[in-house]
Each structure stands twice: as C-alpha cells, then as structure tokens.
Structure 1
Amino acid sequence: MQLAPIVIFAFNRPNALRNTIQSLLKNEEAKESDLYIFVDGARLNKKGDQEKVNAVQDYVKGIKGFKNFHYTFSDKNKGLGNSIIEGVTQVINQYGKAIILEDDLVFSTNFLSYMNQGLNQYEKEIKVFSICGYSNKIKVPKEYKYDTYFCTRSSSWGWGTWANRWNSIDWELKNWEQYSSQRKAFNKWGGSDCFKMLNDWKNGKNQSWAIRFCFAEFLQNKISLFPIISKIKNNGFNGEGTNCKKWSRFRYEFDNEGKKIFSFPTTLDINRHLFQSAMSYHSIIIRIWSKIMYQIYR
C-alpha cells in the first residue's frame, strides 16, 4: 500500500506541535510516510508572535523519524485559510492524495493505518469527497456492524482527500449570487451553522477554508467517511487556536485499542440514525447552549 504524504500546518505553538509530532511517531506507518510542514509567518502587530514562531521553526528543523521530511517557513503571515489552500495544493498535486493536519491534534496509534486504508478504499469512488479521522460521539444502532460510516459534512480535524476532489473546489465562490440562494439547502445538508460561516467568509469575518470545502462537497452531492471511534482528539480548546474557543460542544470517544484492520460499508449509503446523531451537534438548540458556554469560558 502506497502511503499518503502527511501535511501539517503550524504557526506559533511549539508545545502543541511537539505533541502532534510525538503522537504521529507512535504510528508505525510514520517511518514510511513523507512529512511536509508549513509554518506561517508572525503577525506584525502581535507582540511576542515572532519569538513563538521562531521557537516553532527551531523545533521543526530537528524533527526526525519520517521517511522523508520537508518544511517551508513563510516570511509573512498568510493566515490559516490561505496557508492550507496553498500548501495542500502543492503537495496533493505531486502525490495525488494527502493527509492534512493542524498543530493542535493528537492521534491514536492506528490513525495513519485508518487514513491510508480509507484513501485506498475509496480512491476511485468519486462520490466520496474526504476521509475524516475525527468523529463526534454518536449513537450506533445495534445492528450496525462496520467500523466506519458516511456523513455529509466533512471534518477539518485531521482528514485526507485526493487531488481530483481538491482541485474541483471554487475557493473564490465566484458565483455568489447563485450560491447565496441555497442557504436553506446547505443548512439542511450540513447543519444550521453552515451558511452563516460561508457568508461570514464572504464578508471577511473569517478565513475558513473548511466551510468552502464543505460547500463544494454540498454542491457536488458528495459524502465523507468517518470512524465510529475517533482517531483524533483536539487539544486546541485552550484559547490559543485560530478558530477554537476555550469550550467545545463537541464530544468524542478516543480510540485506545490500536486496531489496525477496519471494516467499511459495502454501499455508499448514509445510515439515517448515524446521520441524525452526528448532525445533532450542529442543531440550533445545541449552538445556543454553546454560545452561552463560550461567554462563561471566555
């Protein structure tokens, strides 16, 4: 099995990146995987940013344990969205597929095995838009027998895709007048917060690449694969993350078993019960509760 390259995006959190790398190295596939790290530049108006970025760069230069290792340091601050779009495009067009990570994630010891099996399993299934390593805690029907399930809205917390899917995305949303008429349909497809995030990007209120990725998935009527038990935990909810608060409405079960062979659904159908359970995290009621908790944990 040809292993997909790993692409990590880092910025100004050396300890977070160190935890990410150390957990990756506990995957036996790491030593046979190519690793690319992109470190964004410091913000000019942010005191202490340059020192933190320098610390990240110093750590990156000493990373070992992967098959091949490449790093790129930006001399200016591009922002997370632009950094990811540029970096993924560069790597994925070279390899045809990639596993994409950020610097606040910690992985199970079978994460790379799961991701590579999923990417190989569905490479020719054009209906599948991405392979996701994170999953919210869901209610699984007793009769459900697979280790994975399909859902609509992709997750940006550790994922993989293929060049032909990635290159199909309109990052500039050039047909905005047409797109904006699909507010209700987009929210029904991916959750009540979807269109607001997309509209906020259009109005310069966020830099999210992920909502544009999901919107492309929606427009193309595609699906994403998720594990029943999450292979990732997000340590970014400490107030330092670009898009994370100090509290999260998302709950998960982390895979500590280390299973290396996974079962996949025999069809590309979405299980209604799993879909409803997964989408419940994006309901209006849960989001209102989250806003209250965000204020408490500011």
Structure 2
Amino acid sequence: MYPIVLFTYNRLEHAKQVVDSLLANALAKESKLYICSDGARNEEDRPKVEACRAYFKTITGFKEVEVVELAENHNVKRAVKVMGDMLSDKYEAWIAIEDDALAHPLFLQFMHDALAYYKDNDKVLLINAYAHERAFRKALIKKKYPYDVIFGVAFHCFGWGIWSDKWKAIDFHMPEQDYFKGLGSTFSIFNRSWGHLMSHKVASKPSSELWDIHTTYYMLKHDKVALWPVRGYIRNIGFDGTGLHGYDFADSVFGEEVNPKERITFTDDLALSRKYDFAIYSQVAIKWVGAFVGNFFTILFRRKKKRS
C-alpha cells in the first residue's frame, strides 16, 4: 500500500477536516500516513503550529502515523522537496494531499488504481485527484468525452500521486527569461497548460512558492503529461482568505462539490485529450477571471502594502 503524506502549516481546523476525510477512505487503515509539519514562519504563527502538532500526536485509524516536524520554516516548495526526496528513497510511489483539500471516500482507491495502471507509461508524470468540475462538465461531459480521465500539462497540487523514479527526474527550476523558447507559440503553450503557465513570470522568481507551475513547465518542456479525473476526488476548502495566497474564492474556483464514479474507465489515448485542450482552457479561464474580479480590491491592497 502506498504511503500518504499530508503537508501542513498552521491551520488546525482545516487539517482536522482533511484527516477526517482521509479516514473515511476504506484504504486508510492499511496506509501509513506521514505528516509534514512546516516550522513557524514567525513568532505569531508559532502557537498555531504547535497546536497542529499536538493534534497530530492524537491521530489514529491509519496503519501508522509518522509526524515530521521541520525545525525551520521551509514554505511549500522546499517542504515538498524535502518530503518527496525522503519518500522516494523508501517507496516505489506515494500519495500527497494538502491541509486544505478534502478527500472523497474513493480518493485513495482512485490513486492506487491510477498509479498501478500508468506505472509503465513513460509519458505520464503524475496523477491528479482534483478536477475542474464545472469546466470539465461543460468542456468534456457535455461534449460526450468517452473516458473518465484526461491528460493535460496542467497540475494542481491539492491531492496527487507520483512514482519515485519520476519524482527524482523533475527539475523544479525555471528560467527567468526566454521561458518558452523553442516550445511553440505563447498561445499554444497557454492552451496546452489550460492557462496554468500564464503564471510563469511569477513562478520563475527565486522567492516564488508556485512549485506546481514549475512542474507544469517541466511537463511542457519534456513532453510529459499529468492524468486528471473528469470527475474529481478533491474539494479544496483553503481559498477562504486564510491560506498562503490570501485569496477568498469561496466556491467560485476550487470549492465545487465532487461526485466521482465508483468505477472509472482509464485510457492511454493522449491524442484525443489534446483535442479538448482549448475547450478546457476557455472554461477554466472564465472561472479564474470571475474569481479575480471578486478579489480585485484584496489584490490591489496587498500590492500597495508590499510597496510601502
């Protein structure tokens, strides 16, 4: 059974909900849970981090629980790298989830099935558990897309799985200029990444924590893809103004209700997936535009505060 790693910081109530959602999975009792608890960024956050760590020591219901308490604050990108390297030295593959991503009761079963099915497919870098529910419904389901999974260059790190050899091959760096030289037109790149690489300039800065954008860039550059379920297994509850980015999207982007199939049909047809890229990109873009319009004043205030 592949291990699970939960990445956490200082949001106790969010973390409790995520643990409870994992325990609702039948495979939880057979799985080892690692908890990566990042160190406090400042003294104000320290009591919150300590409260989370006290709770982690009480968790039962898994085959085993191991808490990795990072002494210093690593932020998301470095914490993921530390844990990913450690797990990749011990296991053939592993499953990850963030502390604001509620898992559907079929989450672990889907991840194990997908990791087994695509294990020897060199093109598939990783498995996503999240789906753009509204976008996929309009771009795929209503257009009679015949399978329950689709391939894309885009990646969301809410809930995912990867094989250790493929993890070790990922380069998490991005150039600070000539990002897409030799990779095609800017439009085709944004289309293939469903708009995710529109954040390439922000992600390329040394201080950026957008390691999911780095992974998307790696897939584009090396002709790899991620697997996405057409109906998701993750509901994100973290974009409520409390997280790293501070955005309050409510349910407008990531918080859609999930209702996956119990039995799904996998496919290796990458060519068919590419035919749906623009339809998905268009629907995802509409969601993002609506979300950022709603957060306009929050974003403007943050930028002014940084300048002052």
TM-score range, shorter chain: 0.7 to 0.9
CA contact (8 A) 2:153 2:224 kept: yes
Q: Which residue of 2 aligns with 1:50?
A: 46
Q: CA deviation at 1:277?
A: 3.5
Q: CA deviation at 1:254?
A: 3.4
User: Which deviations, in whole Å up to 9, do the C-alpha atoms of 1:175-218 show, x marking residues without a partner?
Assistant: 655645358253242144515x3322332452121111111111
2:223 to 210, 213, 221: 221
CA contact (8 A) 1:6 1:98 kept: yes
CA contact (8 A) 1:231 1:254 kept: no
2:19 to 10, 18, 21: 21
Amino acid at match of 1:153: A
Tell me which moved more, 134-143 or 112-121: 134-143
**1:59 to 2:63 alignment:** no
Q: How does 1:131-142 map to 2 (within 5 A)?
A: 131-137=127-133, 138=136, 139=138, 140-141=141-142
Q: Which residue of 2 aligns with 1:69?
A: 65
Q: Which residue of 2 aligns with 1:198?
A: 200
Q: Which residue of 2 aligns with 1:254?
A: 257
Number of residue pairs aligned between Structure 1 and Structure 2 = 290
Q: Which residue of 2 aligns with 1:80?
A: 76
What percentage of residue pairs aligned between the two structures are identical?
A: 27
2:190 to 184, 187, 191: 187
Tell me which moved more, 199-208 or 83-92: 199-208
Partner SS for 2:35: strand
Sort the Cα spacing of 1:296 and 1:167 in 2 relative to 1 into closer, same or farther, 3 A.
Answer: same
CA contact (8 A) 2:253 2:287 kept: no
Q: CA deviation at 1:273?
A: 5.8
State the distance in 2 between where 1:273 and 1:295 align: 33
State the distance in 1 between where 2:88 and 2:36 align: 14
Q: Which residue of 2 aligns with 1:116?
A: 112
CA contact (8 A) 1:153 1:190 kept: yes
Amino acid at match of 2:51: A
Amino acid at match of 1:250: V
Q: Which residue of 1 aligns with 2:37?
A: 39
User: Which deviations, in whole Å up to 9, do the C-alpha atoms of 1:17-75 show, x marking residues without a partner?
Assistant: 1000001000000111111110001112x52x111000000011111111122111111
CA contact (8 A) 1:34 1:69 kept: yes
Sort the Cα spacing of 1:165 and 1:270 in 2 relative to 1 into closer, same or farther, 3 A.
Answer: farther
CA contact (8 A) 2:235 2:258 kept: no
Partner SS for 1:271: helix
State the distance in 1 between where 2:215 and 2:152 align: 14
User: Which deviations, in whole Å up to 9, do the C-alpha atoms of 1:71-113 show, x marking residues without a partner?
Assistant: 1111111111110111112112311211111100111111111
Sort the Cα spacing of 1:129 and 1:243 in 2 relative to 1 into closer, same or farther, 3 A.
Answer: farther
Sort the Cα spacing of 1:16 and 1:253 in 2 relative to 1 into closer, same or farther, 3 A.
Answer: closer
Tell me which moved more, 108-117 or 144-153: 144-153
Sort the Cα spacing of 1:252 and 1:41 in 2 relative to 1 into closer, same or farther, 3 A.
Answer: closer
Sort the Cα spacing of 1:237 and 1:178 in 2 relative to 1 into closer, same or farther, 3 A.
Answer: closer
Q: CA deviation at 1:253?
A: 5.2
Tell me which moved more, 176-185 or 55-64: 176-185
CA contact (8 A) 1:236 1:244 kept: no
